[in-house]
């Protein structure tokens, strides 16, 4: 073990301020990337985008993760969490304003791609901050709270985006400028409130294993198994985020406001459910069974959401789908529970996890866009990609119990020989 250990961490309430501000920047970035589906009809109309171009644009924020996640995290993890977060938030702000200004499709694509790169470059800071400020047993709780905040912010953003768009007269550019202003505020908040807590000894130990960071992080079987689970679920999720509003408008004449509300309810429910499942894993250790069950629930609810235009039924289905998304903190915590892993290795392992997640989020819009172009049926295309979320069941089956938060029975210590 390295760095800050269970016995050396001194608990302080300020840790929640630090991780809270950091998480707000992180989830706000995902909120901005996720609301493209609401803006896409207006963007497509102004820039005359084909379905394939729409798929490319929707997936572009995650391209950098595919090519750069591991090398970028290895490089970025050499810097302090404070500096790394500050730089990526500031550049993220710049790239948001670039997207709002973009005169042509290519510039918009480049701005969205660059914004995604800043998001993945920021991730090593999360691993450092969690290990500096929190005890090992609290990590699943931190990730559960992160998931709840994700649901609140991303879900709230999905619900608010149609109204924001309407308030600007349908201007997607003004909406992106507003997001840029939000990121500027978050950058300032982090500069003022963000702090680190790390000892010279922990930095020395981390430096001593720099050469083996990549090999050390990627040697774990369960890391690869967890990554596979993320691919399928994020593929289905990104496909729905990008094309579900368009499909509902075309197939069922349901407005963007209702589509945004439906997607927002699922995301918000997923955040709350993740908090509940996090506590359930801490209490029961049954992470494997939870993952298996939620994978089936997610696939069925995704398919159901393509089969009806009845708003009551849709709200029930998206609520069920949101419950299934409560899996996130369980699977995301796997890198922290890998035996003997060090802080920089956790940073790379988390980057690998996000890279595998980005494989799914990149493929989702691309596969759906090209399926729609080939089949001429967007509803059928979304129904097909829904079944990829069954990857979560496979992952739940293959992961070891201890890496999903399960308790491992410790052997009893050998008895001392009698003095008689």
- pLDDT-based confidence at residue 236 (cuts at 50, 70, 90): very high
Segment 132-148 mean pLDDT: 77
Give the model's pLDDT for residue 1.
Answer: 37
Give the model's pLDDT for residue 194.
Answer: 84
Segment 335-349 mean pLDDT: 77
Locate 185 and state its tokens.
């505020």
Q: pLDDT tens across 186-217, in order?
A: 999 999 998 887 644 444 445 444 557 767 77
Give the model's pLDDT for residue 178.
Answer: 92
Indicate the angle between helix axes 139-167 and 36-47, nearest 10 degrees.
40
Give the model's pLDDT for residue 408.
Answer: 45
Q: pLDDT tens across 250-280, in order?
A: 888 888 788 878 888 887 888 788 878 877 7
Report the range of poorest mean pLDDT among 7-21, 144-158, 205-219, 358-372.
205-219
Segment 156-170 mean pLDDT: 84
Asked if 271 contacts 152 with a C-beta cutoff of 8 angstroms, the reply is yes
Higher pLDDT, 398 or 70: 398
- Domain ranges for the chain, please list them: 14-202+212-404
Asked if 369 contacts 51 with a C-beta cutoff of 8 angstroms, the reply is yes
**Average per-residue pLDDT for the chain:** 81
Whether 410 shows a pLDDT value over 60: the answer reads no
Q: pLDDT tens across 308-319, in order?
A: 989 999 999 999
Distance CA 321, CA 299 (A): 8
- What CATH number matches the domain at 14-202+212-404, 2.60.40.3080, 1.20.1250.20, 3.90.1150.200, 3.40.50.2300? 1.20.1250.20
Whether 414 shows a pLDDT value over 70: the answer reads no
Q: pLDDT tens across 57-89, in order?
A: 877 776 766 666 667 666 666 777 888 889 999
């Amino acid at each position: 073990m390295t760095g800050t250990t269970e016995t050396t961490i001194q608990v302080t309430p300020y840790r929640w301020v630090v991780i809270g501000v950091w998480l707000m920047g992180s989830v706000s970035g995902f909120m901005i990337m996720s609301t493209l589906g609401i803006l896409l009809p207006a963007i497509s109309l102004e820039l005359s985008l084909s379905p394939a171009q729409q798929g490319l644009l929707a997936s572009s924020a995650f391209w950098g993760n595919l090519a750069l996640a591991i090398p970028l995290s290895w490089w970025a993890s050499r810097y302090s969490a404070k500096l790394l977060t500050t730089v990526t938030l500031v550049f993220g702000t710049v790239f948001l304003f670039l997207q709002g200004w973009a005169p042509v499709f290519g510039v918009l694509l480049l701005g969205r791609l660059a914004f995604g790169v800043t998001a993945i470059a920021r991730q090593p800071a999360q691993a450092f901050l969690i290990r500096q400020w929190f005890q090992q047993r609290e990590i699943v709780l931190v990730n559960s709270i992160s998931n709840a905040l994700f649901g609140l912010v991303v879900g709230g953003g999905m619900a608010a985006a149609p109204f924001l768009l309407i308030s600007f007269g349908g201007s997607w550019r003004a909406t992106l400028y507003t997001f840029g202003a939000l990121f500027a505020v978050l950058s300032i908040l982090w500069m003022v409130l963000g702090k680190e807590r790390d000892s010279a000894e922990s930095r020395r130990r981390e430096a001593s294993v720099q050469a083996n960071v990549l090999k050390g992080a990627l040697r774990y079987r369960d890391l690869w198994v967890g990554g596979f689970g993320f691919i399928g679920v994020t593929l289905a999720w990104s496909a729905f985020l990008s094309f579900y509003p368009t499909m509902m408008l075309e197939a069922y004449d349901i407005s963007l406001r209702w589509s945004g509300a439906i997607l927002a309810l699922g995301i918000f429910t997923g955040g709350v459910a993740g908090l509940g499942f996090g506590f359930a894993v801490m209490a029961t250790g049954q992470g494997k069974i939870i993952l298996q069950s939620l994978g089936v629930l997610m696939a069925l609810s995704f398919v159901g959401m393509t089969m009806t235009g009845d708003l009551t039924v849709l709200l029930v289905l998206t609520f069920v789908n949101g419950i299934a998304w409560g899996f996130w903190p369980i699977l995301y915590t796997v890198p922290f529970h890998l035996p003997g892993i060090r802080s920089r290795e956790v940073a790379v392992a988390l980057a690998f996890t996000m890279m595998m997640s980005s494989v799914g989020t990149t493929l989702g819009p691309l596969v759906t866009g090209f399926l729609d172009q080939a089949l001429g049926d967007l509803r059928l295309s979304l129904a097909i990609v829904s079944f990829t979320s069954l990857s979560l069941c496979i992952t739940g089956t293959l992961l070891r119990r201890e890496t999903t938060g399960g308790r491992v029975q410790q052997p009893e210590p050998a008895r001392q020989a009698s003095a008689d």
